[in-house]
Structures are given as structure tokens and as C-alpha cells.
């Protein structure tokens, strides 16, 4: 069946090859580049970012080579509100958000998909490394590039209108194919980190928006061992850049154990104190088949996978791990899998 497909084209190699594959399959494809910055830079900084003038030009050139119509949609205001402001607010509240996950949820598969359907398109295609099989989200065949974690917040209805053409290919295969198709982005570096923080200085970005406020760094006993200029500049599990004045008596490194935004206090301690086996999550979303056997959970993008058991209690989701995890931060997503299939997700609220 021939579909009308809106192909989201970031200007990178993955989205270009995804659009090319959909067009080659005989579908009616239109390319769209999302302008997410009100004042985009002219050039990328190293391999960071994905919201520059250069990227929009790369996307347009790819569409020309593929032979599909191409448009630019201004999503800067929506992106600022739903992703950037959410990112800042979450850090201010002592949590650690994942802006890529929020962008997929609020921009690509809410704002863009809603507009696409209203315009008569049947589906939105992206260059994410993941698969949708019979309406269910699954991991990519390339474990190093799998992006099912950051897509785990999509509903079944959204997945029914999503196409991920790269799920059966490795990144190396995608680059080779791009070169064979004559796409100039074949060797373009991947974007990474946070696209709206081009220099990678998250602490500096937050300081400009939340200001500086000196506060204590304390150990597990509550003794002051250093100071900081804003608790929002730290995240659970962090080891570097802690500005500790009094090293631990045993000489071992300290890690951030917790962040208290109200008192502006950062608590540090040994790595062993980071270990948790029970995680309480809020806003559970079930987007795959129900399962209780052989279930695993992923707690960060490209993070480790843990065997687990779970149950819903009073609207919350409690996940018990089969071995301790470290660096589990409130605000991140817990994505549940049965084998390679995503069955649900929730937002981490606390861990013990």
C-alpha cells in the first residue's frame, strides 16, 4: 500500500538514508527539516548540535538528491517551551532530564505527527535506530546505536504512525549506503550530547538561566567538605568537577549521592553508596505487550540493562532489580523490555 509519508530530515546521514529508503519503496514522501532554534548558528561546533543553518542546507541537498519535496517547519517556540524550559526546570528541581527523549515525545511525535496527520500524511519517518514490528517498538540490530530507549515514551497510537527504516541496519551499513546513493552527508559526524548546548557546557548553560547560589557540599555524615555555585550544576553519580576541599580519609573518589534544591545542598560519598536495587517511578506508560517473565530495564540512554521485577502501586511503578545499579537519577526514564521489545516506560522518582 502506497503511503503519504513525512520524513523528518535533521541534516544527518541517518535521516537522509531513511527518507531515501521510504521513497525507493514507492511511497509518496515529503522531507521536512525542523527549525528548532530561533537563532541557529551558521556552523556546527565540532560534532555537537543538530540545529544549525548548515544542517538545514544538508537536509535540503539530501532531499534534492532523493528527488522529494522539501520544507522547513519552524518549531523553535514549541521546542523552547517543551524541551529547553523543561530541561532547565528539571535541573532546578534537582532532577536529571533527558532532552532527546522529551524532544521525541513533545516535538517529533506530538507536534510534528499531529500536524502531519492534519495535513493528510499517513506516517512520520525518522532516522532513529529502532524497529516497529506489528505496532510494537523494538531494539535496533545495532546495539551500539539502538535508540529504542529514547523512543520508549511513545504511545501505541503514535507508534502506529511511525516508521523507522534503519532498524535492521548498522550505522556502518547506513554510511556505506549513503555514499552509494551520492548523499554528501555520508561521512558527516554524528551529533551528540545536547543539541541546544553547542559547546557541551551544561553547567554554564544552566548557570546563565538559573544564576549562581553558593551552597555546601557535604558527606554522608553531613560534614561540609566543599562548596558549589549552584546545586543545579550536578547530577547523581557525578565524579568529576565536584570542588571538594577535604578529600575522603580513605583516599577514594567521591560521587554525588543526592541533590537537595531547596537547601541547595549536594551530598557526596563513596561509589558503594550509589548502589540501589529498588526504583520508584511515576507516570507509567504501557506501549507494548504485557510481560512479567524475562523482563529487563534500561535506566539511561545506552546504559546497562538489568533483570527486574515490577508492579504498580497506587499509580506508581516499583521496579526491583536483580543486581545493584549505580548513578540512578530522578528525572531519567526507566524503559522496560521483554527481550528486545519495549513494553513500557516511566519516569524515575526515587531509588533505594
Residues belonging to the active site: 103, 195
Grid cell in block for residue 226: 566543599
Q: Which of helix, strand or coil describes residue 152?
A: coil
Rg, the chain, Cα only: 21
Count CB-CB contacts under 10 A for residue 56.
19
C-alpha span between 329 and 320 (Å, rounded):
16
Buried b (16+ CB within 10 A) or exposed e, 280-305: bbeebbbbbeeeeeebbbbbbbeeee
Phi, psi at residue 20, to the nearest 5°? -65, -40
Q: DSSP states of 69-125 as a string?
A: -EEEEE-HHHHIIIIIHHHHHHHHTT----HHHHHIIIIIIIIHHHHHHHTT-SEEE
Contact 23, 9 (CB under 8 A): no
**Where do the DSSP E strands lie in 186-315?**
215-218, 224-228, 255-260, 265-269, 276-286, 295-298, 305-313
If we measure between CA atoms, which residue out of 287, 286, 307 comes closest to residue 297? Answer: 307
If we measure between CA atoms, which residue out of 137, 41, 53, 77 comes closest to residue 342? Answer: 137
Grid cell in block for residue 318: 516499583
Contact 205, 62 (CB under 8 A): no
Phi, psi at residue 318, to the nearest 5°? -105, 125
C-alpha span between 217 and 29 (Å, rounded):
54
Amino acid at each position: 500500500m502506497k503511503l503519504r509519508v513525512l520524513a523528518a530530515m535533521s541534516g544527518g546521514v541517518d535521516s537522509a538514508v531513511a527518507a531515501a529508503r521510504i521513497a525507493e519503496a514507492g511511497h509518496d514522501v515529503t522531507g521536512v527539516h525542523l527549525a528548532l532554534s530561533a537563532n541557529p548558528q551558521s556552523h556546527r561546533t565540532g560534532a555537537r548540535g543538530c540545529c544549525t543553518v548548515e544542517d538545514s542546507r544538508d537536509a535540503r541537498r539530501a532531499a534534492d538528491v532523493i528527488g522529494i519535496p522539501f520544507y522547513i517547519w519552524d518549531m523553535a517556540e514549541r521546542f523552547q517551551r517543551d524541551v529547553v524550559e523543561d530541561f532547565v526546570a528539571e535541573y532546578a528541581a534537582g532532577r536529571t532530564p533527558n532532552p532527546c527523549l522529551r524532544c521525541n515525545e513533545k516535538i517529533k511525535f506530538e507536534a510534528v505527527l499531529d500536524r502531519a496527520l492534519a495535513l493528510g500524511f499517513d506516517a512520520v519517518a525518522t532516522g532513529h535506530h529502532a524497529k516497529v514490528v506489528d505496532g510494537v517498538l523494538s531494539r535496533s540490530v545495532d546495539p551500539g546505536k539502538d535508540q529504542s530507549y529514547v523512543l520508549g515514551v511513545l504511545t501505541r497510537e503514535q507508534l502506529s504512525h511511525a516508521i523507522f527504516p534503519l532498524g535492521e541496519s548498522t550505522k556502518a551499513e547506513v554510511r556505506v549506503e549513503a555514499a552509494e546513493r551520492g548523499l554528501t552527508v555520508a561521512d558527516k559526524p554524528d551529533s551528540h550530547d545536547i543539541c541546544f548546548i553547542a559547546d557541551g557546557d551544561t553547567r554554564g548553560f544552566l548557570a546563565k538561566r538559573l544564576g549562581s547560589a553558593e551552597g555546601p557540599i557535604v558527606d554522608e555524615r553531613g560534614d561540609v567538605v566543599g562548596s558549589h555555585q549552584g546545586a543545579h550544576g550536578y547530577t547523581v553519580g557525578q565524579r568529576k568537577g565536584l570542588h571538594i576541599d577535604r578529600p575522603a580519609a580513605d583516599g577514594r573518589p567521591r560521587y554525588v549521592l543526592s541533590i537537595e534544591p531547596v537547601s541547595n545542598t549536594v551530598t557526596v560519598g563513596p561509589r558503594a553508596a550509589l548502589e540501589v536495587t529498588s526504583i520508584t517511578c511515576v507516570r507509567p506508560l504501557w506501549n507494548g505487550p504485557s510481560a512479567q517473565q524475562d523482563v529487563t530495564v534500561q535506566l539511561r540512554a545506552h546504559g546497562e540493562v538489568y533483570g527486574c521485577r515490577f508492579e504498580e502501586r497506587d499509580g506508581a511503578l516499583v521496579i526491583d532489580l536483580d543486581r545493584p545499579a549505580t548513578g540512578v537519577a530522578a528525572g531519567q526514564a526507566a524503559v522496560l523490555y521483554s527481550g528486545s521489545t519495549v513494553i513500557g516506560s516511566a519516569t524515575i522518582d526515587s531509588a533505594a
